[in-house]
């Protein structure tokens, strides 16, 4: 406990607008550092589907001072780990390394984000890699169904498009296209540098200022709000199971709402003691895998359920899931509330033992809420969760909204969105 009390969160902003946030963890022996860019698949124009993801791949393929092999070798020579990801609203580049190699880590991140050369031969090579990645996703039904679900929720909007793009779109990207996207979004005001571990905030700020303090801002195109499509995307495949996702729109305005939503997801479909696991799998044997989840973005989100079941049992599975959510809206048992809060609290505290988890959580708090949230405030928000708040969250989800449905399986004969909506209100 004494060690935990010495952990501090600090935030600074350089003169050019670049934000730097750190979680000092003196008891750790490693560091996690990364840069989160406020640009993802949602920010692509119609002819740019997949370009944010491709640019993420290209960041490691060469700079003015390092080729692709040198980037990988320098990091791994000191035992470091480097990776990146692209989501619908962000692209992140991060390293895990020892504190004595902080200068190298900052230099590598600054190099790949400000000095990438985007070599044409590497673009062609990586184009082939990404097309293979798209093919693998299309061949994996429990991946494909989530892309279909996004399209069902936000059809006609960039939030509904696959992050990887399409074979056709990825096949057309040129060096000039990648450079244009980079210029549009990769500026100081759109970047957040986050770090966690054995570090000093002021020292890190000085190092970053020396490497990134002179970069300029970038044009940021305003995001267009998405409207709920309540769509239906079904793909017939010769499979043993039907992979199904259905969901509803949601939004959180504060920390208590966020954790009330997490508690709802936890007790509804978050583990072996959850209602869905017990009712759908244990009591009825309708599936092997089933879970609920919430996916939040800057102006909304979704609350959804995934399950894999036989084609003949899809409707029964959907009916049970809908009935359980409707029941939750009418009231939640005290023991369920206590169990959900215990799981969320334990999850939070366990994650604080990982520098990578801490850096990632810090970035997400700032992206979602505009500022970091101290652990004490988070624990207070968890303590405020009660049955009334969870039931209210469930009521808000099902009140007058038609769900979206996606399915990949041997049969497309499943209940309509309207029928599912009726069962949610029973």
Beta bridge partners of 309: 242
Q: How many CB atoms lie within 10 A of CB 237?
A: 14
Q: Which long-range contacts (CB under 8 A, 24 or more apart) does 69-74 make?
A: 71/108, 71/111, 71/112, 74/104, 74/108
Q: Which two tokens stand for residue 104?
A: 């190298």
Please compute, for residue 63, the number of CA atoms within 13 A of its CA located in the half-sphere on the CB side: 16
Indicate the burial class of 143 (C-beta count within 10 angstroms; 0-12, 13-18, 19 or more): middle
- The answer to whether residue 56 is catalytic is yes
Q: How far apart are CA 130 and CA 44, in angstroms?
A: 17
Kind plus residue range of the DSSP H or E element containing 93 = strand 91-97
Q: How far apart are CA 186 and CA 37, in angstroms?
A: 7
Secondary element (H or E) of residue 9: strand 8-13
SS (H, E, C) 21-39: EEEECCCCCCEEEEEEECC
- According to DSSP, residue 48 is labeled G
Which residue in the list 44, 56, 74, 122 is annotated as catalytic?
A: 56
Integer angstrom CA distances of residue 331 from 137, 204, 345, 388, 393: 39, 49, 22, 7, 11
**355-369 vs 334-351: helix axis angle to the nearest 10?**
110
First vs last Cα of the chain: how many Å apart?
48
Residue listed under structure tokens 């060469």: 62
Q: Which segments within 157-297 are labelled E, that is strand?
A: 191-197, 232-236, 242-249, 290-297
Coil, strand, or helix at residue 295? strand
Return the active site residues: 56
């Amino acid at each position: 406990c004494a060690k935990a009390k010495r952990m501090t969160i600090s935030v600074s902003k350089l003169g050019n607008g670049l934000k730097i946030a750190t979680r000092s963890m003196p008891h750790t022996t490693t560091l996690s550092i990364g840069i989160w860019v406020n640009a993802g698949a949602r920010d692509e124009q119609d002819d740019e589907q997949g370009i944010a993801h491709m640019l993420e791949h290209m960041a490691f393929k060469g700079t003015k001072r390092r080729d692709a092999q040198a980037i990988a070798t320098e990091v791994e020579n000191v035992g470091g780990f480097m990776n990146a990801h692209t989501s619908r609203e962000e692209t992140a580049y991060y390293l895990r390394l020892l504190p004595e190699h902080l200068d190298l880590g900052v230099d590598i991140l600054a190099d790949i984000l400000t000095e990438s050369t985007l070599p044409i031969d590497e673009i062609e090579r990586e184009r082939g890699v990404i097309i293979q990645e798209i093919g693998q996703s299309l061949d994996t039904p429990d991946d494909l169904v989530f892309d279909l679900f996004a399209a069902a929720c936000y059809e006609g909007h960039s939030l509904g498009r696959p992050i990887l793009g399409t074979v056709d779109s990825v096949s057309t990207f040129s060096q000039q296209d990648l450079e244009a996207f980079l210029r549009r979004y990769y500026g100081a005001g759109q970047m957040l540098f986050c770090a966690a571990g054995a570090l000093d905030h002021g020292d890190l700020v000085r190092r970053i200022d020396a490497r990134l303090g002179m970069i300029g801002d970038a044009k940021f195109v305003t995001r267009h709000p998405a409207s709920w499509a309540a769509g239906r995307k079904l793909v017939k495949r010769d499979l043993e199971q039907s992979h199904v996702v259905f969901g509803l729109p949601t939004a959180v305005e504060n920390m208590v709402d966020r954790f009330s939503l997490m508690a709802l997801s936890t007790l509804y479909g978050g583990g072996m003691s959850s209602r869905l696991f017990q009712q759908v799998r244990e009591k009825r044997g309708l599936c092997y895998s089933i879970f609920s989840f919430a996916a939040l973005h800057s102006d909304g989100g979704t609350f959804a359920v995934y399950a894999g079941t036989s084609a003949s049992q899809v409707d029964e599975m959907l009916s049970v899931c809908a009935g359980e959510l409707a029941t939750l809206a009418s009231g939640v048992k005290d023991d369920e509330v206590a169990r959900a809060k215990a799981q969320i609290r334990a999850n939070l505290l366990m994650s604080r033992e990982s520098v990578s988890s801490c850096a990632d959580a810090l970035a997400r708090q700032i992206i979602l809420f505009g500022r970091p949230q101290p652990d004490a405030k988070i624990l207070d928000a968890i303590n405020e969760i009660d049955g009334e708040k969870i039931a209210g969250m469930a009521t808000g989800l099902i009140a007058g909204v038609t769900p979206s449905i996606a399915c990949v399986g041997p049969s497309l004969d499943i209940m309509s969105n309207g029928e599912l909506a009726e069962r949610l209100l029973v």
